[in-house]
Amino acid sequence: MPNTGSSCTETSASQGPPLWLLAELTYRCPLQCPYCSNPLDFAQYKTELSTSEWIDVFTQARALGAAQLGFSGGEPLVREDLVELIAAARDLGYYTNLISSGMGLTQAKLEAFRDAGLDHIQISFQASDEQVNNLLAGSRKAFEQKLAMARAVKAAGYPMVLNFVTHRHNIDQIERIIELCLALEADFVELATCQYYGWAHLNRAGLLPTKAQLDHAEAVTNRYRAQLEAEGHPCKLIFVTPDYYEERPKGCMNGWGNIFLSITPDGTALPCHSARQLPVSFPSVKEHSLSHIWYDSFGFNRFRGYDWMPEPCRSCDEKERDFGGCRCQAYMLTGDASQADPVCSKSPHHHKILAARAEAEQPQPPIEALTFRNERTSRIICKG
């Protein structure tokens, strides 16, 4: 068995178990969203874990302490063994969550998922407007399919959980988005402004909203929150501000390798779903046990704790709250994953965030000018 090179015995000895397992079953997807968090070079990763390999991953993670399991992608619905995987997860005692675009979902599949024990389904939309939604998705029938499946999910008795990724091309329609969610009888709505990883980072200049757009959207959301609360309405609105408009970074993933474990389609284990882009060697479940990966591998111990931190993070009195911010963001913006997250105003690289905000205030090209996530574009990126 190859050695994964950990020398962080003190950190691994004090590390708690993973609690949340994300199974990225596939990078295949019928949509072409220009803000997808999948790797830019996803086309080079064709191998996917088999049904039995995935079930072995679920079994090992459950033994370590993982309690919640998310099925993600790409689009997890393209996996023909999804019902079998859901049933196996249920038998192991997981709370299971299907994170889907709704494309490929049918009434028959919904019934099969329910019978297999699926607990939760989240459907994503690109916009409240059919034309914008379909343009961003790269499918002329996406909006119609999503509406139908959202209603079917509700009728099947699942919690109605909707996700709208907001950006400069749809955030001004926030009121219409919320009204659509209410019409669909949503229980939870995540209005998640783009976080700039993967394809969203590639398209950042065309996606980052202006400060005025963001402030307006948050004000509208707060107004609806107050109204819904006063009426005793069950719908909960969650508004996620992009890191780029913060002065302090979020505690990314509750700390590196702290509670979150992601397995990619080919079996690479990651401490967050975006970490594959980092110049760090991450282990594979095909070569190592999850126990070794979680507690002893170099990749998972690389940014655990505080010893790895340079200044200004090392002496910062907020480091136990934000853990130095996002390692992927630090790498994308500075070329060095050990740097302070440039979102932090204390970072010597904070000017890069200020420059991005200033760029967002300038006129930007239309949606059609964005680089869309698809196999052809990914293959070009693979070639460099």
- How is the chain split into domains, by residue range? 17-383
Confidence band for 3, pLDDT divided at 50, 70 and 90: low
Which of the two residues, 195 and 262, has the higher pLDDT score? 262
Q: Is 328 annotated as a binding residue?
A: no
Q: Is 252 annotated as a binding residue?
A: no
pLDDT confidence of residue 285: 98
Q: What is the mean pLDDT of residues 218-237?
A: 97
Burial of 32 per CB tally in 10 Å (0-12, 13-18, 19+): buried
Confidence band for 96, pLDDT divided at 50, 70 and 90: very high
Q: pLDDT digits over 258-288, tens only?
A: 999 999 999 999 999 999 999 999 999 999 9
Confidence band for 153, pLDDT divided at 50, 70 and 90: very high
Confidence band for 365, pLDDT divided at 50, 70 and 90: confident
Q: pLDDT digits over 35-51, tens only?
A: 999 999 999 999 999 99
Strands, E assignment, the chain: 20-24, 68-72, 95-100, 120-125, 161-166, 188-193, 236-240, 260-263, 269-270
pLDDT confidence of residue 274: 93
What pTM was computed for the model? 0.94
Q: What is the mean pLDDT of residues 7-34?
A: 84
Tokens representing 211?
A: 């400060």
Topology of domain 17-383, CATH: TIM Barrel (3.20.20)
Closest C-alpha to 290, from 6, 45, 64, 3: 64
247-274 burial: b if 16+ Cβ within 10 Å, else e: ebbbbbbebbbbbbbbbbbbbbbbbbbb
pLDDT confidence of residue 35: 96
Q: pLDDT digits over 283-327, tens only?
A: 999 999 999 999 999 999 999 999 999 999 999 999 999 999 999
pLDDT confidence of residue 384: 74
DSSP letter at 126 equals S
Burial of 102 per CB tally in 10 Å (0-12, 13-18, 19+): buried
Average pLDDT of the residues of the chain: 94
Residue 213 and residue 171 in contact, taking contact as beta carbons nearer than 8 Å: yes
Distance of CA 263 to the CA centre of its chain: 13
Kindly give, in sequence order, each residue whose CB lies less than 8 Å from that of residue 246, ignoring residues fewer than 6 positions away: 343
Confidence band for 4, pLDDT divided at 50, 70 and 90: low
Q: Is 194 annotated as a binding residue?
A: no
Kindly report whether the peptide bond that precedes residue 312 is cis, defined as omega within 30 degrees of 0. Answer: yes
